[in-house]
Amino acid sequence: MGEEIYSGFSAKELFKEGIGMTYDDFSILDTSFTNIDRNEIVLETDLGKGIVLKTPIIAAPMDTVTSKELCIALALQGGIGCIHYNFKNPDGSPDIDKQVKEIESVKRFENGFIENPVTVSPENTIADAIQIGEKNKVGKSAIDTFPVTESGKPHGKLLGLLRKQDYSRTKHTDFKVKDRMVPLKKLIKGEWPITLHEANKLLWEEHLLFLPITDKKCNLRYLVTRSDLDKNEEYPLATKDENKRLMVLFAVETRPIAYERLEKCFKAGADGCIIDTSQGYTRYEVDMIKYIKEKYPDKLVIGGNISTPEACKGLEEEGLNSYRCGQGSGSICTTSGAIGVSRAGASGVYYCAKATKMKTIADGGIRQVGDIVKALTIGADVVILGNMLAGTEESPGNTIIDPESGLPVKIYRGMGSKEANVGEIRGYSRLPQGVSGHVKYKGSIHEWVPLIRDGIISAFHVLNCKNIKELHEKMNKGKIRFEKRTVGSLRESNVHDLLM
Ligand code: XMP
């Protein structure tokens, strides 16, 4: 007596047999007495380089997942998206500028100070302005209010403001902007330097929706908007940089074109990059890590994909701080069958996280909220989701009705699939390592991610852990208990004996 009694296994015992374990292969047991409140639980995870996620979710860099719309919505909900690199010109060659535009849209979405507002020239027609606004959408809405500068460029001499209420989209199309804008002498503006707080105060005091901010010579420096302030209030979890802009990552390859991509995407304001390769333990990746760390020391670089402690140690020695853990475990992956080198998702995460101080990003095979909880519990600091986000309103592509089930669905495809055509972009044909299909429509990120958060918080509550650090400490001390699952247990844990 007096001895502590534990049921189940510790994580160490669970994984020790050298068997590939997936998230389905074990459950977490409720052995902890809960004496914390749900509102004490914080899901925050610090990725480094100033990127702190209040929701430990990264959207996978995949062309059926990470549109700018999804990256904006996820960042507002406390996660972060990674803009994929599979944009192509009509001749099939890579189009870096499209990726840059997506990044710019995310960075422009919710600014305290909008650095590069969309501007027009006084000589533009209203029709031109409407077209420029359509081209520069923020989320799904076209821009309809524009600072007017002499040159028509974002930092030119400010001459006025063309607001939505200043023109009719039908009656005034042939008018010049200068004939409909509010001219400078009637305009309330701020003068740089000004704090965001002061700018906000001015907006409210003067009942304004937009406040242009100029330098002493009247050159436009920034634009501050009321809708951004409203969004600030609405999304307290939002992942933002020091200028209150949403944060975003981009995918980069290990081929020579990467140097141009890095330069342009970081210039566009991206906060970090993922070296997006299925095989990260290579000379190419090491060279890329070294290059990025030296040239862009303030930016986050995420390496991978890897799934063994050997690879972790190898990349950690090169100064990497975070990596994607998972090879062949993704829902659209056929890597295991194609090349035979892969690892079951949970085993990879457990062994890698144990072997390194780097941030472990569990990637692949996460199908439900419980899998996110399991990944975090066995050592992950954050998860990457492809499948779980692909069917959302904000992911690219249209929702269609699946003829067999009658359910709304969206396309989801592996980046190594024939359909994503990555072989062609690389200039040689490859055996596909992924497939394409459909996933169920899930509604908006703004409804789905809060539900995911709710599930994770419920689990932390049951496990009596206030944050991810506590969870890891408890797991490492053997105080979180696990049990292996049989086929029967799997069947039992899904809906059974029910006509639906
Ligand atoms: P889930 O399970 O969330 O996995 O759909 C997303 C992850 O899968 C990886 N990925 C691929 N792996 N062939 C692969 O072997 C592919 O075509 C492919 N496309 C994506 C990637 O790591 C992603 O985050």
Q: Say which amino acid occupies 134.
A: E
Q: Nearest-5° angle of CA 467, CA 464, CA 39?
A: 60
Q: Which of 306, 333, 431 to mutate to test the pocket of ligand 1 (most atoms within 8 A of CB)?
A: 333
Distance between CA atoms of 405 and 33, rounded to whole angstroms? Answer: 43
Q: Where are the alpha helices (DSSP H) in 268-319?
A: 283-295, 309-317
Distance between CA atoms of 243 and 115, rounded to whole angstroms? Answer: 9
Residue 370 tokens, joined: 């419980």
Residue count of the chain: 500
If you measure from the C-alpha of residue 426 to the centroid of ligand 1, how many angstroms do you get, rounded to a whole number?
Answer: 18
Q: Nearest-5° angle of CA 286, CA 338, CA 324?
A: 35
Distance between CA atoms of 100 and 296, rounded to whole angstroms? Answer: 17
Three-class SS of 43-98: CCEEEECCEEECCCEEECCCCCCCCHHHHHHHHHCCCEEEECCCCECCCCCECHHH
Q: Exposed, middle or buried: residue 175 (CB in 10 Å: 0-12, 13-18, 19+)?
A: middle
**Which domains does the chain possess?**
11-109+238-493 (3.20.20.70), 126-234 (3.10.580.10)
Q: Say which amino acid occupies 405.
A: S
Query: In Å, how far from its chain's centre is CA 138?
Result: 17
Neighbours of 289 (CB within 10 A): 21
DSSP assignment letter at 382:
E
Ligand 1 atom with the smallest distance to the CA of 367 is: 2
Distance between CA atoms of 89 and 118, rounded to whole angstroms? Answer: 25
Is omega for the bond preceding 467 within 30 degrees of 0, making it cis?
A: no
Residue 275 tokens, joined: 């070296």
Per-residue model confidence as pLDDT tens for the chain (500 residues): 556 777 999 999 999 878 999 999 999 999 999 999 999 999 999 999 999 999 999 999 999 999 999 999 999 999 999 999 999 988 888 999 999 999 998 998 766 788 889 999 999 999 999 999 998 877 678 899 999 999 999 999 999 999 999 999 999 999 999 999 999 999 999 998 888 888 989 999 999 999 999 999 999 999 999 888 777 778 899 999 998 899 999 999 999 999 999 999 999 999 999 999 999 999 999 999 999 999 999 999 999 999 999 999 999 999 999 999 999 999 888 888 889 999 999 999 999 999 999 999 999 999 999 999 999 999 999 999 999 999 999 999 989 999 988 999 999 999 988 888 754 555 446 788 888 899 999 999 999 999 999 999 999 999 999 999 999 999 999 999 999 999 998 888 888 888 77
Task: Name the 3-class secondary structure at 324.
Answer: strand
Asked if 362 and 341 count as a contact pair (C-beta separation under 8 A), the reply is: no
Q: Which of 57, 278, 302, 382 to mutate to test the pocket of ligand 1 (most atoms within 8 A of CB)?
A: 278
Sequence-distant (6+) residues with CB within 8 A of 296 are 262, 266
Residue 277, CA atoms < 13 Å, CB-side half-sphere: 19
Q: Which residue has its alpha carbon closest to ligand 1 atom 18?
A: 414
Ligand 1 atom with the smallest distance to the CA of 386 is: 3
Distance between CA atoms of 380 and 378, rounded to whole angstroms? Answer: 6
Give the largest CA-CA distance in the chain: 90
Sign, Cα dihedral of 328, 333, 337, 339: negative
Residue 10: φ, ψ to 5° = -75, 170
Active site residues: 333, 426
> Of 84, 98, 96, which is closest to residue 251 (Cα–Cα)?
84
C-alpha distances (whole Å) from 346 to each of 328, 349, 366, 379 are 12, 5, 10, 10
Is omega for the bond preceding 193 within 30 degrees of 0, making it cis?
A: yes
Asked if 365 and 384 count as a contact pair (C-beta separation under 8 A), the reply is: no
Ligand 1 atom with the smallest distance to the CA of 432 is: 17
Asked if 289 and 280 count as a contact pair (C-beta separation under 8 A), the reply is: no
Asked if 7 and 28 count as a contact pair (C-beta separation under 8 A), the reply is: no
pLDDT for position 183:
96
Residues with CB under 6 A from ligand 1: 60, 62, 278, 305, 326, 328, 330-333, 335, 363-366, 384-387, 414-417, 433-434
Neighbours of 72 (CB within 10 A): 26
Q: Which of 366, 415, 421, 422 to mutate to test the pocket of ligand 1 (most atoms within 8 A of CB)?
A: 415
> Of 332, 320, 324, which is closest to residue 348 (Cα–Cα)?
324
Q: Tokens 């909220």 label which residue?
A: 369
Burial 95-118 (b: 16+ CB within 10 A, else e): bbeebbbbbbbbbbbbbbbbebbb
Residue 227, CA atoms < 13 Å, CB-side half-sphere: 12
